[in-house]
Structure 1
């Protein structure tokens, strides 16, 4: 606590320190007995000790600091120290000496991500550790959550998975003994099951959101979320940029190249997702390329499954219950019999399609044609599919319904719905090869897949923008608005 108060500037700032003492007295209703000291830090030690001895003194100190330094990291951490049970020493000295000899100088890939995952849901400790030992020491400052496994021991398990087999086995054996001692064995076993190879087909995602600028329709606002840990969601927002429409592909190229550089130490597969509003769902992102600066741009679909997601559904919470129900149903029973192929007569009468899709057996919808930029109330395929919770919607810019049905049926044959993005990627590759296939896969090159997983939302507020983010734009259009 003394360190926190000193970090808040109260050791060096005598007037603020005096005000702190007066606020403590006001909160207590009586005055503490304090001595004069030569240094500000010594004075803080006396204040903290006096508060610890007085009935309600620590709560008075907490209120005083929150009044004096509102919203500061120091006041928030002090508040937790006062109101949460204190953590006893986690390990005996002998165990710490062994662990330090093993972890000192070890820097596993994405060390910061491992610390954040081990600390969850507690607030991640401040500072960037230099090695695994420093990270472990930071995590020992966090209290043990209800499941009984201290964050520091969870971190050891995550580090063990990144180490060579011999060292990893030693760390896991050591961790088993420590978890047994603190009665956290059950949670440790759960964590090990989560970390088993092949247990979940983990992917890294780069999510790119494109919107039409609200002032200049020739410009677009681009945001992105790059997953740095395949088990952590949502990722941190990477920024926002306003650019002209003709620059979109090259800007996305830069985001992808930057992501690949950041992911250079990973072995997981990667997926691209474009979050688009209704007005941009026909943006040909599946035809875009990367690495234009080399002079030989490479099509994105050669390296990634590419899907789009609905911006409107992302933050229309009133649609989420139905959406989650159908997504779970698709995971449980991903058969091709659950695909509805729209017909022109479905839009002949208002809300006829709504009635058809109210049948919960339908999980995927193939539109009769590309959706228009503006919805048609009561007879719009895309809007109806989103509102009724259909998680997967497909369409093609110009293929006939008969040809499209044939291609979709072939894609779903045998593999089921769950493999659709990957099978579509394979079909786009096959269109370049001299392969004998039962259908014309040149059609698949422009097949649009709206693939919406409700468990991976990126907006946690009421709209698509977080309040503390500013656009990376140098013009004065914001002032003009």
Structure 2
């Protein structure tokens, strides 16, 4: 294949960008094109001549060349068009081309196209995200939507997320991609990637860094264990309107470490929470379409929402047969108040270590009906081995006793709590809890709670309300697995 000069590489990229712009309805219509040009001029802080009576393609060539000369000019060009077109196919194509422009610039005008036919056949989104995480030493956790091939990921990583003493992330990605091709029996393609990497290492004097990378534990890392992926969904009280909440979420699919990725925060009425959670779960499933790990849903709830049967909220609610979340996921509850109140974290960590390091010596505590929350808190704090609290009343009960029990458990650092959302005195609930806590490890507690929910699920909508599994609530709070809160690490707590 003929090697292209740096000038030709850049000129052809400019032409490719113009090809996409020329087909855009926004650009071809005078009114919308004027809005685009005005927004672009404002963000660049430089005048941009409107199209008017000029021929479209020469005008676009001049515009793209000018933006390419300005720092952040090409990303700005696409960003302003995105204001008008949102996530159109043209926008996705332009984002890939801007990444390619920046990759070419990073590699001093090198012709990268010989790598394209090899890398564009790598299409597993989960595998590409894993390779990007490893290449960047976990600094890149998720990839943009347009990074749907190995080629797009390589371009995206070029020049980014590299520490001074490390091999550039894009070259580390190529090395990992070559290893994956070898595993798939594509020896010739793998050697092509390695040859390109060796030549670039020689050009830049990176032979030692390439050798260090190949010898590192990251490059030769064994496949991680099959640990769950987590979607953490938090409802934060508005603070002014009691019927409104801030919905935040974090996605965590890195099997090699805890690196939750925050999503968009929405301000919603309480009645809109189930529908928005459904949309969020569907979007996450699309992002994780080829993820092999099981997915756990964790709802971070303020005390006033602890009565919500979140695991029985629906997917596919617009269909004639909606699916309860519990059919597809392990669903756990966490405490919003505890995450935000740092003064409660020391006993929380202490009891978690007890549960994690000495499960055989840990036990559950059944709070007897009528015991004051003062004595409950005192006993839980004196008993270091009490790591799971079974409430005598649901936290949202009319008497307020369940809420006081719940708060006593939080203050004492108890990491797990169980309650019946309607009647904690139900004999079936007591029987279920006795079976759930007979093994003292936390994993068996979650598994056994899931089994009771499956029994209820098997009865179908016509019968599950009469089964205890329909009303079980289980809180499991791991202090080592925390989201990054969107606000300060404190919140008002109602006693």
TM over 0.5: yes
Matches within 5 A, 1:43-122: 102-103=118-119, 105-110=121-126, 111=128, 114-115=131-132, 118-120=135-137
Alpha-carbon separation, structure 2, partners of 1:426 and 1:265: 26
Given that 1:148 and 1:187 are in contact with CA atoms closer than 8 Å, whether structure 2 keeps it comes out as: no
Task: Show the counterpart of 1:70.
Answer: none
Matches within 5 A, 1:291-440: 291-335=316-360, 337-344=362-369, 346-347=371-372, 350-372=374-396, 380-397=404-421, 398-400=423-425, 403-413=428-438, 416-433=441-458
Q: How much has 1:312 moved relative to structure 2? A: 0.9
Alpha-carbon separation, structure 2, partners of 1:366 and 1:168: 56
Given that 1:226 and 1:236 are in contact with CA atoms closer than 8 Å, whether structure 2 keeps it comes out as: yes
Alpha-carbon separation, structure 1, partners of 2:410 and 2:174: 43
Q: 1:326 to 1:131 in 2, by over 3 A?
A: same
Please list the CA deviations of residues 309-332 of structure 1 after superposition, one character each: whole Å capped at 9, or x if unmatched.
111111222222332333233222
Alpha-carbon separation, structure 2, partners of 1:408 and 1:206: 26
Alpha-carbon separation, structure 2, partners of 1:415 and 1:379: 25
Given that 2:260 and 2:483 are in contact with CA atoms closer than 8 Å, whether structure 1 keeps it comes out as: yes
Q: TM-score, normalised by structure 1?
A: 0.63
Q: TM-score, normalised by structure 2?
A: 0.61
Alpha-carbon separation, structure 2, partners of 1:331 and 1:363: 10
Q: How much has 1:255 moved relative to structure 2? A: 2.4
Q: How much has 1:448 moved relative to structure 2? A: 0.6
Aligned match of 2:283 in 258, 267, 286? 258
Alpha-carbon separation, structure 2, partners of 1:314 and 1:362: 20
Say whether 1:189 aligns with 2:217: yes
Aligned residue for 2:308, secondary structure, equals coil
Q: 1:273 to 1:127 in 2, by over 3 A?
A: closer
Q: How much has 1:150 moved relative to structure 2? A: 4.7
Structure 2 unaligned regions, length at least 5: 1-9, 11-42, 49-64, 70-105, 460-465, 491-495
Alpha-carbon separation, structure 2, partners of 1:266 and 1:126: 16
Q: How well do the aligned residues superpose, as a CA RMSD in angstroms? A: 5.0
Please list the CA deviations of residues 417-455 of structure 1 after superposition, one character each: whole Å capped at 9, or x if unmatched.
223223322221123558xxxxxx932321111111222
Q: 1:445 to 1:191 in 2, by over 3 A?
A: farther
Say whether 1:224 aligns with 2:252: no
Q: How much has 1:127 moved relative to structure 2? A: 11
Q: How much has 1:242 moved relative to structure 2? A: 1.0
Say whether 1:152 aligns with 2:170: yes
Given that 1:358 and 1:388 are in contact with CA atoms closer than 8 Å, whether structure 2 keeps it comes out as: no
Task: Show the counterpart of 1:29.
Answer: none
Aligned residue for 1:321, secondary structure, equals helix
Say whether 1:286 aligns with 2:311: yes
Given that 2:362 and 2:440 are in contact with CA atoms closer than 8 Å, whether structure 1 keeps it comes out as: no
Q: How much has 1:393 moved relative to structure 2? A: 1.1
Q: 1:417 to 1:167 in 2, by over 3 A?
A: same
Q: How much has 1:191 moved relative to structure 2? A: 5.7
Alpha-carbon separation, structure 1, partners of 2:138 and 2:399: 41
Structure 1 unaligned regions, length at least 5: 14-40, 46-88, 435-440, 466-481
Given that 2:231 and 2:296 are in contact with CA atoms closer than 8 Å, whether structure 1 keeps it comes out as: yes
Q: 1:161 to 1:213 in 2, by over 3 A?
A: farther
Q: 1:414 to 1:126 in 2, by over 3 A?
A: closer
Task: Show the counterpart of 1:135.
Answer: 153
Q: How much has 1:357 moved relative to structure 2? A: 2.8
